[in-house]
Amino acid sequence: MQVSRRDGMSGRNSSSTPKSRDLVCTPAALWIWCLPIGVVIFATSVWNGHQLPTTLTGVILTMATAWMGVACYLNGRSCGRTHCKIDGILLPLLSLVGVLNLLGVTSFGWNVYSDAFWIILFISLVPEFFGMRYITPKNGV
Protein backbone atom coordinates (compact mmCIF):
# COMPACT_ATOMS: atom_id res chain seq x y z
CA MET A 1 0.00 0.00 0.00
CA GLN A 2 1.38 3.35 -1.05
CA VAL A 3 1.01 6.19 1.38
CA SER A 4 0.86 9.63 -0.12
CA ARG A 5 1.66 12.57 2.08
CA ARG A 6 0.33 16.06 1.59
CA ASP A 7 2.79 18.77 0.75
CA GLY A 8 2.27 21.43 3.40
CA MET A 9 2.95 24.38 1.07
CA SER A 10 0.81 23.46 -1.90
CA GLY A 11 -1.64 20.94 -0.47
CA ARG A 12 -0.87 18.53 -3.31
CA ASN A 13 -0.15 14.87 -2.90
CA SER A 14 3.58 14.35 -3.09
CA SER A 15 3.07 11.05 -4.91
CA SER A 16 1.87 12.83 -8.09
CA THR A 17 4.35 12.76 -10.92
CA PRO A 18 6.16 15.86 -12.17
CA LYS A 19 4.49 15.44 -15.56
CA SER A 20 1.04 15.58 -13.99
CA ARG A 21 1.92 18.97 -12.45
CA ASP A 22 3.61 20.32 -15.61
CA LEU A 23 1.61 23.14 -17.20
CA VAL A 24 3.64 22.77 -20.40
CA CYS A 25 1.65 19.56 -21.00
CA THR A 26 -1.74 21.29 -20.78
CA PRO A 27 -3.75 23.52 -23.10
CA ALA A 28 -2.95 26.40 -20.71
CA ALA A 29 0.53 26.43 -22.26
CA LEU A 30 -0.95 28.19 -25.27
CA TRP A 31 -1.75 31.38 -23.39
CA ILE A 32 0.93 31.01 -20.72
CA TRP A 33 3.89 30.65 -23.12
CA CYS A 34 2.81 30.66 -26.76
CA LEU A 35 0.97 34.00 -26.52
CA PRO A 36 3.96 35.92 -25.10
CA ILE A 37 6.31 34.26 -27.61
CA GLY A 38 3.96 35.39 -30.37
CA VAL A 39 3.90 38.88 -28.89
CA VAL A 40 7.73 38.97 -28.87
CA ILE A 41 7.85 37.87 -32.52
CA PHE A 42 5.16 40.37 -33.51
CA ALA A 43 6.64 43.33 -31.64
CA THR A 44 10.17 42.68 -32.91
CA SER A 45 8.97 42.27 -36.49
CA VAL A 46 6.83 45.41 -36.45
CA TRP A 47 9.61 47.39 -34.75
CA ASN A 48 12.12 46.21 -37.37
CA GLY A 49 9.66 47.45 -39.99
CA HIS A 50 9.83 50.89 -38.32
CA GLN A 51 6.11 50.81 -37.52
CA LEU A 52 6.30 50.56 -33.74
CA PRO A 53 7.91 53.19 -31.50
CA THR A 54 11.04 52.09 -29.68
CA THR A 55 9.65 52.70 -26.20
CA LEU A 56 6.43 50.78 -26.91
CA THR A 57 8.49 47.92 -28.34
CA GLY A 58 10.56 47.83 -25.15
CA VAL A 59 7.48 47.84 -22.93
CA ILE A 60 5.91 44.99 -24.91
CA LEU A 61 9.08 42.88 -24.98
CA THR A 62 9.80 43.46 -21.30
CA MET A 63 6.24 42.60 -20.24
CA ALA A 64 6.15 39.45 -22.39
CA THR A 65 9.50 38.35 -20.97
CA ALA A 66 8.37 38.97 -17.40
CA TRP A 67 5.11 37.09 -18.07
CA MET A 68 7.00 34.05 -19.35
CA GLY A 69 9.61 34.28 -16.61
CA VAL A 70 7.05 34.27 -13.81
CA ALA A 71 5.12 31.42 -15.46
CA CYS A 72 8.33 29.42 -15.86
CA TYR A 73 9.35 30.09 -12.27
CA LEU A 74 5.99 28.90 -10.94
CA ASN A 75 5.91 25.86 -13.23
CA GLY A 76 9.51 24.97 -12.38
CA ARG A 77 8.72 25.10 -8.67
CA SER A 78 5.62 22.97 -9.18
CA CYS A 79 6.94 20.22 -11.43
CA GLY A 80 10.71 20.67 -11.73
CA ARG A 81 10.70 21.09 -15.53
CA THR A 82 14.33 21.74 -16.48
CA HIS A 83 13.84 24.57 -18.93
CA CYS A 84 11.34 26.24 -16.59
CA LYS A 85 13.86 26.11 -13.74
CA ILE A 86 16.42 27.85 -15.99
CA ASP A 87 14.01 30.30 -17.64
CA GLY A 88 12.35 31.05 -14.30
CA ILE A 89 15.62 32.64 -13.22
CA LEU A 90 17.02 34.09 -16.45
CA LEU A 91 13.87 35.57 -18.01
CA PRO A 92 12.94 37.69 -14.96
CA LEU A 93 16.54 38.92 -14.90
CA LEU A 94 16.29 39.76 -18.60
CA SER A 95 13.04 41.63 -17.99
CA LEU A 96 14.81 43.61 -15.27
CA VAL A 97 17.49 44.52 -17.83
CA GLY A 98 14.65 45.56 -20.15
CA VAL A 99 13.23 47.86 -17.47
CA LEU A 100 16.70 49.38 -16.96
CA ASN A 101 16.94 49.94 -20.70
CA LEU A 102 13.51 51.61 -20.75
CA LEU A 103 14.62 53.89 -17.90
CA GLY A 104 17.80 54.85 -19.76
CA VAL A 105 20.16 53.21 -17.25
CA THR A 106 21.44 50.97 -20.05
CA SER A 107 21.38 51.68 -23.75
CA PHE A 108 21.03 48.94 -26.34
CA GLY A 109 18.69 48.15 -29.19
CA TRP A 110 15.70 45.90 -28.73
CA ASN A 111 17.15 43.48 -31.28
CA VAL A 112 19.90 42.75 -28.75
CA TYR A 113 17.24 42.14 -26.10
CA SER A 114 15.30 39.89 -28.46
CA ASP A 115 18.48 37.97 -29.33
CA ALA A 116 19.18 37.45 -25.61
CA PHE A 117 15.60 36.21 -25.16
CA TRP A 118 15.98 33.59 -27.92
CA ILE A 119 19.43 32.53 -26.71
CA ILE A 120 18.09 31.99 -23.18
CA LEU A 121 15.20 29.91 -24.52
CA PHE A 122 17.52 27.83 -26.70
CA ILE A 123 20.06 27.21 -23.94
CA SER A 124 17.34 26.24 -21.47
CA LEU A 125 15.98 23.59 -23.84
CA VAL A 126 19.36 21.92 -24.51
CA PRO A 127 19.25 19.68 -21.38
CA GLU A 128 15.78 18.49 -22.38
CA PHE A 129 17.06 17.45 -25.80
CA PHE A 130 19.44 15.15 -23.94
CA GLY A 131 16.69 13.56 -21.84
CA MET A 132 16.88 15.72 -18.73
CA ARG A 133 13.25 16.86 -18.77
CA TYR A 134 12.70 17.22 -15.02
CA ILE A 135 15.00 18.17 -12.16
CA THR A 136 13.80 16.45 -9.02
CA PRO A 137 15.34 16.61 -5.55
CA LYS A 138 17.28 13.46 -4.67
CA ASN A 139 15.98 13.31 -1.11
CA GLY A 140 12.32 13.55 -2.16
CA VAL A 141 11.76 16.89 -0.41
The per-residue pLDDT for range 81-109, each reduced to its tens digit, is 888 899 999 999 999 999 999 999 999 99
Share of the chain above pLDDT 70, in %: 79
**Which of 88, 61, 83, 58 minimizes the C-alpha distance to 72?**
88
What is the residue extent of each domain of the chain? 32-126
Q: What is the DSSP string of 27-63?
A: TTHIIIIIHHHHHHHHHHHHHHTT-S-HHHHHHHHHH
Stronger pLDDT, 58 or 81, i.e. the higher one: 58
In this prediction, residue 22 carries a pLDDT of 66
pTM over 0.75: yes
**Which of 59, 89, 94 minimizes the C-alpha distance to 74?**
89
Crossing angle of the two packed helices 82-102 and 110-129, in degrees rounded to 10:
170
In this prediction, residue 33 carries a pLDDT of 84
- The mean pLDDT of 61-72, rounded to a whole number, is 95
Confidence of residue 3 (pLDDT cuts 50, 70, 90): very low
- The mean pLDDT of 98-126, rounded to a whole number, is 96
111: pLDDT strictly greater than 90: yes
Q: Which of 16-25, 68-77, 105-114 has the lowest mean pLDDT?
A: 16-25
